[in-house]
Amino acid sequence: MFLNVSSWDISLSKEVENGRISARSLRTMKVPRPTYLSPTVINGEESHLLGFFNSSRSLILGPTDEEALAQFILTIAFSNPSDATNPVLQGVFALASLQLHGNLKSYRYKHLVISSVKESINWLDEKTLLQNLMATMLLYHYELSLESNSKGSWVIYLCAVKRIINTSPAIQKLVRQEYSVFLDWIYYHEVLAEFTVRHWKIPYEGCGFVPTARSPRAIEGSGPKGEDNIGCPTDVLQLVVHTCRRALATKPSEMNDANATDVLEHHISKSIGDYGPIHVPSADPIDRNTMVADLHRLACLIYVNRVVHCVSGTEFRHRRLVREGILLLTKMTTCQNAWPLFIIACEAMGDDQRLAILDVFEQSRQDRRRRSSHIHLIQHMVEAVWNQHDLNAENQVDYLTIFDAVIAGVPFIPPFA
């Protein structure tokens, strides 16, 4: 049981037992101020990069293979074929070049993205606003994919997007059905960043804008099951936000309505059913996006059980959710969705479940679609949580204390997207 326990794990265990974890505040998130560069011409190399982007969506945009999102990005990238300075087009080049050639060769495209984004005075124009927001999201994905020590700088770009969508008077121009896939994309990453903020450092007043579902598709609840939100249902994201804000909000007026939380939880539980998602009989094989959506549902219910209801890890209904989550992960073989993988894997008990999870990690690292070393980071945190549970066999330390201590122990703000 203790073969992989290090001196760090033992020291951390003693600190959380004695309540000596120091309070740390979030880093200041600065919004980048890009400038303008002159146009470039698309050449043979860039045509190759476009082809790679189009054929490797899941690798580049991750963690789900969302064809509609990739098509929408390319549509905006070529909205004016004669304008090679389009920051979205340069963002596509940057992401593809990063995957094919690494950080050094891709940096010039990244620099062009930053330089091509217009000054804020032009952002009242719908086309400019859409291009610049999308380009900044591509820069965010670029940072997520880096293998270097600059991990954590993704927050600069996501923070920039959050500030724009919450303060720009022109943002309502983008609240249209045809932009739903783009707005859902932002919302998904906003919510998972909210989770990181909740657990990586001690929350403080004014920690940021509350993630809000803006797309008509999300608000009206339209769209096929499993495709509401880039592989993650909207109600799951809304419940994660409610759960995180319970800890982040400091004023009573900011606290979420408990009844709304109950309704969301009931709806998600109903979608899972009494016997779990993989036991539902179907003549057709379950597609991967549906499995990813169900994985998010299971992880959400597990997380709410622990954080809101303070359920014991051994409670029967809770263990059923964990068992279903591990079975689903085993059926999927690989998983590039860091958040549900982390939530479910942390709950694994006993050699059989943990070995099954370790096999998923191993297969995921070998997956040709993997984006970066983020799966290695998730595995490192999961094993640290396991070690704390093993060292805390008498349950003297509660779940959240261990959870917060392990995540806060990462030297950079960790991505769960």
Percent of the chain with pLDDT over 90: 43
pLDDT number for residue 207: 53
Record the pTM. Answer: 0.86
Confidence of residue 287 (pLDDT cuts 50, 70, 90): confident
User: Based on the number of CB atoms within 10 Å of its own CB, is 214 exposed (0-12), middle (13-18) or buried (19 or more)?
Assistant: buried
> Which has more confidence, 205 or 337?
337
pLDDT higher than 90, residue 284: no
DSSP string, 322-340: HHHHHHHHHHHS----HHH
DSSP string, 86-142: -HHHHHHHHHHHHHHH-HHHHHHHHHHHHHHSPPGGGTTSHHHHHHHHHHHHHHHHH
Taking only Cα atoms into account, the Rg of the chain, rounded to an integer number of angstroms, comes to 21
Confidence of residue 363 (pLDDT cuts 50, 70, 90): very high
> Which has more confidence, 7 or 248?
7
Average pLDDT over the chain reads 82
pLDDT number for residue 280: 59
Determine the residue type at 179. Answer: Y
Mean pLDDT value across residues 111-119: 82
Q: What is the longest distance spanned by two Cα atoms in the chain?
A: 67
pLDDT number for residue 23: 39
Confidence of residue 34 (pLDDT cuts 50, 70, 90): very low
Mean pLDDT value across residues 228-234: 75
pLDDT number for residue 39: 38
Mean pLDDT value across residues 266-280: 82
pLDDT number for residue 35: 31
> Which has more confidence, 16 or 79?
79
pLDDT tens by residue, 162-220: 989 998 889 999 999 999 999 999 999 999 999 998 888 755 444 578 899 898 877 77
